[in-house]
Amino acid sequence: MTGRMSKLDRLLKLVHALAEDAEGLTLDQMADRLEVNRRTAERMRNVIMMHFDLEPIVDGRIKRWRIVGRLGRMFTQPTAQELAAVQTEIDAQRKLGQHARADLLAGLLAKVRSAQDMQARTRIGPDLEALSRAQRTLISAGPGAPVPPETLEAVHTAISAGSTLEFDYRADGSKTAAWRRVIPYGVVHGPVSYLIGKIPRGSKPPVYYRLDRMENARPGNEPGVVPDDFDVDEFVHRSFGIYHDAEHDIVLRIKPAAAERARGWRFHPGQVRREDKDGSVVIEFRAGGLRELCDHLFCWGEHVEIIAPDVLREQMVESLTKALAAHQ
């Protein structure tokens, strides 16, 4: 995409964002969405203001803008690239065995396509077919744990209704299922889908429950209110993986031979990266889940050095010793 076309693309994306967000966007939010600086976002806002009814919303010291009314049809027609992206995700979920999620996305895609007139469908049809045929999502090795559609529907219903969720749960290593009632705090999807749930009236923090291990899931009769200060992203980022144990300050040194790879690698959303004088890269972040982190660092081989904590280094030595014994 040329520089001029790239600017036009960002401008149209901002038009859509300002029309779709009912609360409006600040200049900083505009800059973040478009990955530009604040001054560039301000200039783009001024251009949009010349052609659209851009309403300022003042909330204390915060000022937001939004486009009043609906955009014309020419601005809201989905592109072949957008529809193909949804179709690619549907295909990926099918291959993972996550048919419940695939069905939801397929329903959305069908509704969008049915809302298009014949001329629009005919115009983008060839491009959509070509892009859908050419694009695939890489399915890495890992667990396959399909979620029954009735389980996912029960979870969604409980969250929407603000009620508890009841289910029979088969924990890891257990042959029988035990009854559970939890407040559904959120859902995390991946190769395995998890519910973040907290036992009502208890002091224990929320924990993960695998959706594929639930049976007879149904909304409960008790209210299940999630605290206003709970943040799903913050909860997820407390751990490197799924297991929430004690958090540690992690310091890793990636040696010069693999430094370039490390510069483009995300170990953790909260990581801080700095360069050492010898060309190595130092990664720092705070998280729990040391066993899963240890498993991941195994694939870095001799290129990673664990600076801290000592317990992570000890776990790595233990894992290496067991792996060596198994293969000698």
Is the pLDDT at 73 greater than 70? The verdict is: no
- In terms of domains, do 32 and 102 share one? no
What value, to the nearest 5°, has the Cα angle with vertex 77 and ends 74 and 81? 130
Cβ-proximal residues to 314 (8 Å cutoff; 6+ apart), any chain: none
Shared domain for 94 and 67, answered yes or no, is: no
Mean pLDDT across the chain, nearest whole number? Answer: 89
Are 161 and 225 in the same domain? Answer: yes
Q: Is the domain of 162 the same as that of 210?
A: yes
Name residues whose C-beta falls within 8 Å of residue 284's C-beta, 6 or more positions apart in sequence: 249, 250, 251, 252, 271, 272, 273, 274
E strand or H helix at 181: strand 178-188
Name the domain count of the chain. Answer: 4
Q: Residue for token digits 């519910």?
A: 195
Whole-angstrom distance, CA of residue 295 vs CA of residue 283: 17
Q: What is the dihedral of CA 8, 87, 151, 221, to 10 degrees?
A: 30
314 inside domain: yes
Euclidean distance between CA atoms 76 and 70, whole angstroms: 9
Q: Are residues 207 and 264 in the same domain?
A: no
Domain boundary, last residue among 170, 202, 232:
232
The reply to whether 17 falls in a domain is yes
* Tens digit of each residue's pLDDT (9 = 90 or more) over 210-256: 999 999 999 999 999 899 899 999 999 999 988 888 899 999 999 99
103 and 173 both lie in a single domain: no
Print the domain residue range for 294: 248-327
Residues 254 and 279 placed together within one structural domain of the fold: yes
Residue 74: the pLDDT is 58
As beta bridge partners, residue 166 has 181, 218
pLDDT: which is higher, 21 or 169 = 169
What percent of the chain stands above pLDDT 90?
57
Residue 144 domain flag: no
Instruction: Encode pLDDT of 123-156 as tens digits.
Output: 888 888 999 999 998 887 777 789 999 999 999 9
Q: Which helix (H) or strand (E) holds 196?
A: strand 194-198
Q: What is the pTM of this model?
A: 0.73
> What CATH number corresponds to the domain at position 196?
2.30.30
The Cα 168–Cα 165 span in angstroms is 10
Does one domain contain both 225 and 153?
Answer: yes
Is residue 225 in a domain? yes
